[in-house]
Amino acid sequence: MAEEQKPEQKPESIGLGPTHVLTAMQMRRVIDPESGPALEMELRDDVVNPHGSLHGGLMGALIECGAAGCAVRAGGGSENIVASDMLIRFLSVVKVGPARAVSKAIRTGRRTIVVQCDVIDVGDERKLVASATLSYARLDA
């Protein structure tokens, strides 16, 4: 018997309201089978560059939003953080989609949280397309 497919989660269903950046950019929270909580966005006409791949600046926004969620979890749930540094290495292009940001905290200190975030093209055999390192300042430290 085939496993029943769950309907895709609509961006509005993440409970953040219609004007939140995740909703406005149609990002959605998902569980990656290898990495756990992740953030993804479909490859749509309104997010691609003239070459048909995901626009780099929008990929940067996906990375920062996905990494911020990881930093919040690593920091014990406090949303009182701000990004202080982000280095993105663009390795390839997202041509199939969806683009998925998978993150892990690589250092959690008293004042900072450092997160590694990779973007994979889920529809292209999970091809790694970007890798980033972000630092977050903990404002309640």
Please name which of 33, 32, 96, 22 lies closest in space to residue 62, comparing C-alpha atoms.
22
| Yes or no: domain 24-138 corresponds to CATH 3.10.129.10 | yes
Tens of each residue's pLDDT in the chain, 141 residues: 444 444 444 443 456 788 888 888 899 999 999 999 999 999 999 999 999 999 999 999 999 999 999 999 999 999 999 999 999 999 999 999 999 999 999 999 999 999 999 999 999 999 999 999 999 999 986
Beta carbons of 116 and 135 less than 8 angstroms apart: no
* Rg over CA atoms, the chain: 15
What is the spatial distance between Cα 32 and Cα 118, in angstroms, rounded to a whole number? 12
What is the spatial distance between Cα 116 and Cα 108, in angstroms, rounded to a whole number? 12
DSSP state of 25: T
Q: What is the domain partition of the chain in residue ranges?
A: 24-138
What are the structure tokens assigned to 31, written together?
């569980």
Beta carbons of 98 and 58 less than 8 angstroms apart: no
